């Protein structure tokens, strides 16, 4: 359970997962922020205003999956590093996961890295397909890795 060990269970994750129909359309954000903490940078980060907090900054962020284009601009803005973008339309059988990376070394495109799940357990080796680390991201790189489609909601960290 998340509050006992910091690991989100599949049941706890369900509310923030888009329906299959949306996943089949392309990249979409998964905001793994399940607590009402006072925080709202994700709202202003989204260029299509897809993230909403109705009651105010302590509301849990609510993502309109259809308004989300999966651009990933929200990823480096989240102080909790809790936002991921997944793309189920990468290639047959393979998907991608984009995540924040604030450790050294920052991997390079094409590099093979170790994929970890939410418990820090090794899932396997994956390939880095994209690294974005511009000055505007203020030292939070966004790394995209290619993963087996059935691991797309399991892989949430990398070891370079």
Interface residue list for other proteins (CB under 8 A)? 2-8, 32-41, 43-44, 56-59, 77-82, 102-104, 106, 116-121, 138-140, 156-157, 159
Strand partners, 130: 144
Q: Minimal distance in Å, beta carbon 115 to other proteins?
A: 10
Spatial contact of 77 and 85, defined as CB atoms under 8 Å apart: no
**Min. distance of Cβ 146 from other proteins in angstroms?**
19
**Sign of the Cα pseudo-torsion (117, 120, 121, 124, in order):** positive
CA distance 132 to 151: 22
Token duo for residue 128: 């880095």
- Is the bond into 105 cis (omega within 30 degrees of 0)? yes
For the CB of residue 43, give the shortest distance to other proteins in the complex, in Å: 7
- Return the half-sphere exposure (C-beta side, CA atoms, 13 A cut-off) of residue 8: 21
Q: State how far the Cα of 145 lies from the Cα of 152, in Å rounded to an integer.
A: 10
Q: Which two tokens stand for residue 20?
A: 């299959």
- Residue 116 CB, nearest approach to other proteins (Å): 6
Please state the closest distance from residue 25 (CB atom) to other proteins, in A: 27
- C-alpha distances in Å from residue 8, one per residue of 87, 104, 114: 20, 26, 20
């Amino acid at each position: 359970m998340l509050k006992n060990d910091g690991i989100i269970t599949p049941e706890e994750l369900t509310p923030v997962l888009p329906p299959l129909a949306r996943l089949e359309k392309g990249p979409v954000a998964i905001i793994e922020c399940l607590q009402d903490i006072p925080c709202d940078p994700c709202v202003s980060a989204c260029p299509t205003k897809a993230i909403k907090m109705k009651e105010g900054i302590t509301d849990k962020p609510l993502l309109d999956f259809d308004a989300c284009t999966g651009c990933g601009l929200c990823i480096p803005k989240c102080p909790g590093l809790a936002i991921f973008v997944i793309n189920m339309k990468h290639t047959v059988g393979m998907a991608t996961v984009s995540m924040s990376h604030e450790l050294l070394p920052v991997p390079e495109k094409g590099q093979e890295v170790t994929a970890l799940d939410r418990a820090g357990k090794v899932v396997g080796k994956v390939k880095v397909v994209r690294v974005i680390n511009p000055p505007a991201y203020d030292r939070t790189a966004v790394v995209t890795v290619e993963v087996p489609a059935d691991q797309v909601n399991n892989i949430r960290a990398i070891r370079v």
